[in-house]
Structure 1
Amino acid sequence: MIRLWQSGHREVKMQLNVVILVVGLFVALGIGGGLAGHRLGVAAGAPAEKGPAGGSAPPVTTPASTPAPAPTGTSACDHHVGEPGVVDVQIVSAPKDLTICPVLLNNGAPITGPFAVNGRFVGRPDLHERIAVVNRADPDTCDASGRPPVMGLFQARTFVIHGDGTWSFTDGLGYDEAVTYARNYAIVDASPAALAVIRNDWDDWNRKHPGSNDYAGMTALPAGAKVLATFRQPPGKYEGKGSPCKNT
């Protein structure tokens, strides 16, 4: 009877050991599988970093920037009153959609001889081919020798205007001592016929007076020409001295 009990006890104990062994094996496999899966995920890259259908994340699209509008009016001017050599423009009859910028004289340097004049028109490119510049000396000023100026209108013969509205010319003075004259310039809008008269006046006079250096300019603007705006060049200096008459 005792032997039978001992035999049954050993059998139950063996079965119990088998159960413990099987449970331990399953637990070990579960933990190991989880760790293996974790290691695989790290090696392959985290799935959360993938885009739809396992592809790469879509690139970030930056909205296209809107180009800044082109400057208009005085904001497009190259030079401004208060800068060296810059003089203001007085509007006479220029249309509202045409901006005539301040004018730069002699690149900002003191005037002591022939000098450059630079400016810009903003708007109305259709007027470019109609524009001329003329000047008349200030009668209250005189040359370095004290002589009063000739009172005619003289065309700026080297005047050029470019497609962007910038324009320029060089005033050759006529003779050195004339640098002390102040000059009042006019920007003129002229019909084709009037423009031809302005441009040809000096040549026509020379044909009628060959060999003479006494051209006195136009007495007045021809019909079909009107002044858009004016600006003033103050007296320059000759051998370090200004006009012996009015010097402003």
Structure 2
Amino acid sequence: MQTDAIEQVYFSPAGTTKAVVDEISKAFFGQKNEFNLMWDPLDEETVIPSNTLAIVAMPVFSGRIPDLCAQKLANLKGENTPAIAVVTYGNREYEDALLELKTILERNGFVLLGAGAVVTQHSIFPQVGTDRPDPQDRRALTTFARQCSQKLRAYPEKPLPAIEVKGNFPYREYKVPAMKPTVNDNCTLCGICASVCPVGAIPPDNPKTKDTDLCITCTACIAVCPEKAQGFHSPEYAEYGAVFAEKNSARKEPEFFM
């Protein structure tokens, strides 16, 4: 099968999930379009036709894909559209996230070429999975993408077998991290953080404040702050971070399912 376009669908607050999508996308030809769920509302049904490849990648939040993303993906529909499903996680565990993403896509009319769980730098504790995906990860992604490309060329004449991935039903309970970014005195009120917050938790007219009930701790505000004012500044953060880093220091490798 020759695809006319590639739809890259992702949620990438710190840019690492997008880096994974971009790496996979290199193996395919065609016009590349994007659904960036950071700011694309996807609030009405959107159909990706069967002559298009969908590469869908979501980060893992406490073993699930973000609830915000699951709600938006409910409106993304396929027509026996070939797809690649990927979750990214910070070298801890991805638990039920890949199964959740796979189930949403298959329920909505997509047919999976492959699925994967890829380690990226941890968004809250960047000392875990630092600088990943690294060259070794990228080589693994290239191999995975080429395998998916081979399957795509034979589709639909050669039906795609069902793919089994790790995860459990019912899914683990979705929990937003209790730890929220705060702002220090470096803040210049530029408002860049407010412009990227996917849930509108930062008021543009007063970016030193944050609605902690809305905040999902995606860390987009930290990633874009030019003054390094947004961050985790409590003593508890440093203490817990050391424990977390020690517990999750052993390198985990990408896992792919074909």
TM-score, normalised to structure 2's length?
A: 0.19
Bigger share in helix = 1
